[in-house]
Amino acid sequence: MAIHLNDVSRTFGEYLLIPGLTTKLCVPPNISLRTPLVKHKAGEMPAIRLNIPFVSAIMQSVSGPDLAIGLARNGGLSFIFGSQPIESQAEMVRRVKKFKAGFVVSDSNLTPEHRLSDVLHLINTMGHSTIGITDDGSPNGKLLGLVTSRDFRAEKDDHTMKVKFFMTPFEKLHVGKVGLSLSEANQLIWEHKLNTLPIIDDSQRLVYFVFRKDYDSHRGNPYELSATDKTLLVGAGINTRDYKERVPALKEAGVDVLCIDSSDGYSEWQQETLQWIKQEYNGNVLVGAGNVVDADGFNYLVGAGADFVKVGIGGGSICITREQKGIGRGQATAIMDVAQARDEYLRKTGLYVPICSDGGLVHDYHMVLALAMGADFLMMGRYFARFDESPSKKLRIGNNYVKEYWGEGSNRAQNWQRYDMGGTETLKFEEGVDSYVPYAGKMKDNLDITLGKIKATMCSCGAVTIDELQRNAKITLVSSTSIVEGGAHDVILKEQT
């Protein structure tokens, strides 16, 4: 007969946190949500550390370049979805890396001989309203002028009009020279009341742009997750089929970390993928793996070289793996089991391998429970799919606005590469559904509320860091009747007007 585990497979909804001593230091401004993303030696800093413990799910309906930019600006990280052609995924990574609060290489350029129709097409394609006009239309050609939305009226001007007749010519531009520091560039922007400052070399060739909006935005995003060169950090999902072609392309595009995306990561295909990446790049490419739900899966992937391990099977809001295949584990039980294995690995080797909780989060307080139970950071799909920055469409259904949200295991995603079963290139049955989520508006507005709740809960637990929360938090199982007691009960609620 099968090996029978005696523990019950439990979810976050079956637990509550017990309050700890809230000292005078336990106030929200003192709470640090910084957490390691990748493995590191005990006592040393990891190569990447998140400023908030959130990463976005590797999903078509969640992690596009706009969300990756928005999340990185707020301290988290996105993994650009891998269920697309290699070049289009690499281009998404490049878009994120080019968006930085500092010196930006222009990717929207034309020549003076182009027409207004070309300008409008470029704006619609790239989403940028500032276009560098160079002699050859390249990002590093001789700068001859600039076009912004102030230079034309799309609804009235002749679309065949050449750029040279409405651009702001070089002679009227304020420019900076290569070698200028970012603070000096920003000073020029303020002195001349500019929105854009082109940076040129001694031959008048365009090198960078510096934007006022980046300076203002950076001040409003103190937790921004960026590299030493001011580029935002971004990850990307890969599979175990075309990794030998996909990884080099993503690396060339500037990706900072990879993650193998699979509904079940305890496989020889993931082992082979990890080992190839580590050998090919001499251990210099960071890559996570998963998903697993127990110590055996964790130890297997860590032994293969994983820099972090993703935990969770069947707990996502659009995942039906448990229903279809009968495999998985309650997310709370899975996290606690894998966290124990991670801590044991640390004691044996001196290496700390972070774990990511993926799925099973229904309420914001479940996030704190997941962290207290041992997760270093959380991967979320439904949470981020609701925002303006996600790639899916916003629709009106009845009196409500919603956004489309579909699983990577659904037929719509056509993501057969996610299933490490070998064989033919088809999806035999669905492990995810096609759905809607309530539209919630801008990411930052919602994120600030969620992070405020997490900090308040940590204060009640007497913890000012995630590490303290994991060491000192107390949790208790709850009965079905105490769950009812925890909500509004025995009253008649007023109707919302």
376/288 Cα distance (integer angstroms)? 13
- Could you give the 3-state DSSP secondary structure of residue 155? coil
- Could you give the 3-state DSSP secondary structure of residue 15? strand
DSSP 495: P
Q: Given 26, 259, 319, 459, which residue is catalytic?
A: 319
Q: Amino acid identity of 449?
A: I
330/324 Cα distance (integer angstroms)? 16
| Chain-centroid distance, C-alpha 355 | 16
- Determine whether 418 is an active site residue: yes
Radius of gyration of the chain (CA): 25
Helices (H), 158-267: 182-191, 212-219, 243-253
13/34 Cα distance (integer angstroms)? 25
432/406 Cα distance (integer angstroms)? 7
User: What's the CA angle centered on 125, arms 119 and 127, to 5 degrees?
Assistant: 85
- Could you give the 3-state DSSP secondary structure of residue 328? coil
Q: Amino acid identity of 238?
A: I
- Determine whether 319 is an active site residue: yes
Q: Which distant-in-sequence residues (6+ apart) come within 8 Å of 419 by Cβ? A: 262, 263, 264, 409, 427, 431
Q: Given 73, 342, 418, 461, which residue is catalytic?
A: 418
409/411 Cα distance (integer angstroms)? 7
What DSSP element (H or E) covers 211? strand 206-211
Query: CB count, 10 Å around CB of 468?
Result: 17
Q: What is the DSSP string of 79-133?
A: EE--SS-HHHHHHHHHHHHH-BSS-B----EE-TTSBHHHHHHHHHHH--S-EEE
**Residue 343: half-sphere exposure toward Cβ, Cα within 13 Å:** 13
| Residues assigned a catalytic role | 319, 418
